[in-house]
């Protein structure tokens, strides 16, 4: 999780932190309140967890989301998808927006342990449910075995689809799936990779399954 | 996406009362039930659906799969496609349904999509999904540019001069062959609708896709008791091997005794404006020897009356071969 990441290396400004800081300045001046978490951090709260801001959004409704084991009490526009809530409101940007129409899988997260497309869900539908994003897979000490396998097998090029691929792959470990590559490909067909890293993605998943 | 009021009803009665305020239960409804959201949120983002109120039915007690007293199956409205596909009794006794579900969408979408939502799945016709285009289904009377335009994936059975949109569901094709019944609770009480009566042909009113009225809540679907010894298969043909809608598909449920077909239930997908049960194909099979000639005759019967458009004439032979192959494979299993 980014918070642990910051705490473990307090003096090294990560790329993510840089983007958050610069991005938040823009957010505060141009669309204050629209990206509440970022606006909050721009208000001088530094490394405080940039969540749970209560901005003044017309028609906003309260929601309690549990993301990666952490409670977030938020107020959101009812139209907010789970994806936009995770990225823009809670500022966990590991989950990616690809097509935004349920056709690419980049936004895959887990709800109550099952993989879903966060772009085709309203955040409000998940009040009180357990959500896991790619940031919730690793511990402060180690990558999730699937993340490590993706590294070892070079299972990406540009990396944009990778968090969705990994979230799908982790969920697949608990789903009915035949032992062969064809079964893995079938169950991973909802995650599109335009770079075409599919062969290495399948190899990484099979390695984790073999060791499981 | 247009602003809407999000409501989570606590019981079916309040959900029905709220939905009954809608002017229609069809295209353009101002109140919508939301299940998995996989169709509705997509269409709301495109402004094809613009409800004022969205009723989240996911926490209503409609999520059970139960064996009925007569040995059939009762499937709750909010049961997820993945749970239904992997249910032990479905895999054993209604395998055509399990196969159809697992051939649809992706693992993520199957974890979200509900049974009742799948019954109401909307067409993938590009003109319907694009509000810059005319579409009789979306805006009655505005015209159908698909008929003279891009229609490669569209329907050849059940079309009208006003609409040739394909019903995209896989699940519904299997349910048509299994002779499911859809159970609805509405402002005037409960009723059971035979699967074949649920979806409407486009005719002059392609905006009306089902017999549902405002306030009608699908509570569950029932399947009749399994047919002992039946051979079942769902075959889906598409442009890529997975995560794609059918160009043609076939659900077959056959009973064969001594080399003769004693019972046949046949439905086609990807070619019809509604899930396409084919009584003509069933008639061509019943009482006949289970061989290649019989299968081909059934396929010819199923596609008799098919009306090709400029780009989708290939579907006629494709659907025939799809059904023939499915029958042959099922019969020899």
Report yes or no: B5 at the A interface, CB cutoff 8 Å. yes
Q: What is the mean pLDDT of residues B96-115?
A: 98
Nearest chain A alpha carbon to B44 = A79
* Same domain, residue pair A22 and A112: yes
* Same domain, residue pair A115 and A83: yes
Is residue A129 predicted with pLDDT exceeding 50? yes
Report yes or no: A46 at the B interface, CB cutoff 8 Å. no
Residue of B1, B32, B108, B113 to mutate, interface with A, max A Cβ within 10 Å: B108
Report yes or no: B4 at the A interface, CB cutoff 8 Å. yes
Give me the CATH number covering residue A130: 3.10.20.30
Is residue A38 predicted with pLDDT exceeding 60? no
* Same domain, residue pair A108 and A176: no
The b/e string for A97-127 (b: 16+ C-beta within 10 A; e otherwise) is: bbebebbbbbbbbbbeebbbbbbbbbbbbbb
Q: What is the mean pLDDT of residues B244-267?
A: 98
Give the Cα separation of B314 and B332 in Å (integer): 27
* Same domain, residue pair A22 and A111: yes
Task: Look up the domain containing A100 and give its range.
Answer: 2-136
- Please list every residue in chain B whose beta carbon sits closer than 8 Å to the beta carbon of residue A102: 38, 42, 109
- Please list every residue in chain B whose beta carbon sits closer than 8 Å to the beta carbon of residue A61: 6
Write out pLDDT tens, residues A148-166.
999 999 999 999 999 999 9
Domain count, chain A: 2
Helices within chain B (DSSP H only): 12-19, 40-45, 81-85, 88-93, 95-102, 107-112, 115-119, 126-129, 171-177, 195-198, 279-285, 292-303, 314-332
Q: Do A117 and B5 touch (CB under 8 A)?
A: no
| ipTM for this prediction | 0.96
Give the Cα separation of B80 and B68 in Å (integer): 19
* Same domain, residue pair A58 and A110: yes
Residue of B38, B39, B88, B106 to mutate, interface with A, max A Cβ within 10 Å: B106
Q: What is the mean pLDDT of residues B214-235?
A: 98
- Please list every residue in chain B whose beta carbon sits closer than 8 Å to the beta carbon of residue A176: 86
pTM of the model: 0.91
Give me the CATH number covering residue A189: 1.10.150.120
Boundary of a domain, candidates A97, A112, A136: A136
pLDDT of residue B118: 98
Report yes or no: A189 at the B interface, CB cutoff 8 Å. yes
pLDDT of residue B147: 98
Q: Do B45 and A101 touch (CB under 8 A)?
A: yes
Helix axes A198-211, A145-152, angle to 10 degrees: 130
Domains and CATH numbers, chain B: 5-58 (3.30.43), 231-332 (3.30.390.50)
What is the share, in percent, of chain B residues with pLDDT greater than 90? 100
| 83-142 in chain B: CB under 8 A from chain A | 86, 105-109, 111-112
């Amino acid at each position: 999780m980014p918070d642990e990441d910051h705490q473990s290396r307090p003096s090294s400004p990560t790329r993510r932190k840089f983007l958050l800081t610069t991005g938040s300045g823009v957010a505060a001046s141009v669309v204050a309140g629209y990206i509440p978490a970022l606006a909050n951090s721009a208000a001088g709260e530094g490394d405080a967890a940039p969540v749970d801001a209560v901005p003044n959004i017309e028609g906003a409704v309260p929601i309690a989301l549990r993301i990666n084991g952490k409670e977030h009490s938020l107020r959101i526009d009812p139209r907010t998808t789970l994806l936009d809530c995770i990225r823009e409101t809670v500022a966990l940007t590991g989950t990616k927006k690809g097509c935004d129409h349920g056709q690419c899988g980049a936004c895959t997260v887990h709800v109550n342990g099952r993989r879903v497309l966060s772009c085709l869900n309203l955040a409000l539908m998940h009040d009180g449910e357990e959500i896991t994003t790619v940031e919730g897979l690793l511990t402060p000490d180690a990558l999730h075995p699937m993340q490590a396998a993706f590294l070892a097998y070079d299972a990406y090029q540009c990396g944009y689809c990778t968090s969705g691929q990994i979230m799908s792959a982790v969920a697949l470990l608990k789903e009915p799936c035949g032992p062969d590559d064809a079964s893995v490909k079938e169950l991973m067909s909802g995650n599109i990779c335009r770079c075409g890293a599919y062969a290495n993605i399948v190899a990484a998943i099979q390695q984790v399954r073999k060791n499981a | 996406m247009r602003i809407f009021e999000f409501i989570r009803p606590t019981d079916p009665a309040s959900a029905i009362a709220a939905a009954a305020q809608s002017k229609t239960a069809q295209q353009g409804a101002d109140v919508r039930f939301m299940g998995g959201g996989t169709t509705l949120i997509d269409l709301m983002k495109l402004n094809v659906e613009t409800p004022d109120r969205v009723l989240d039915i996911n926490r209503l007690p409609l999520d059970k799969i139960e064996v009925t007293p007569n040995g059939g199956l009762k499937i709750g409205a909010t049961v997820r496609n993945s749970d239904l596909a992997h249910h032990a009794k479905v895999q054993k006794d209604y395998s055509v349904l399990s196969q159809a579900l697992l051939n649809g969408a992706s693992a993520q979408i199957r974890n979200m999509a509900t049974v009742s939502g799948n019954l109401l799945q909307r067409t993938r016709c590009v003109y319907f999904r694009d509000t810059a285009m005319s579409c009789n289904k979306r805006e009655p009377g505005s015209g159908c540019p698909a008929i003279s335009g891009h229609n490669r994936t569209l329907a050849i059975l059940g079309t009208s001069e006003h609409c040739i949109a394909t019903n995209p569901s896989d699940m519904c094709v299997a349910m048509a062959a299994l002779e499911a019944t859809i159970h609805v609770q509405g402002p005037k009480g409960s009723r059971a609708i035979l699967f074949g009566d649920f979806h409407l042909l486009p005719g002059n009113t392609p905006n009306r896709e089902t017999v549902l009225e405002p306030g009608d809540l699908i509570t569950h679907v029932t399947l009749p008791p399994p047919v002992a010894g039946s051979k079942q298969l769902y075959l889906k043909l598409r442009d890529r091997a997975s995560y794609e809608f059918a160009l043609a598909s076939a659900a077959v449920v056959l009973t064969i005794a001594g080399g003769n077909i004693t019972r046949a239930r046949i439905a086609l997908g990807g070619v019809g404006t509604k899930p396409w049960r084919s009584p003509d194909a069933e008639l061509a099979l019943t009482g006949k020897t289970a061989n290649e000639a019989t299968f081909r005759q059934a396929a010819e019967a199923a596609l008799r009356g098919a009306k090709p458009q400029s780009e989708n004439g290939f579907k006629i032979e494709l659907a025939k071969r799809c059904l023939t192959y499915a029958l042959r494979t099922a019969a020899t299993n």
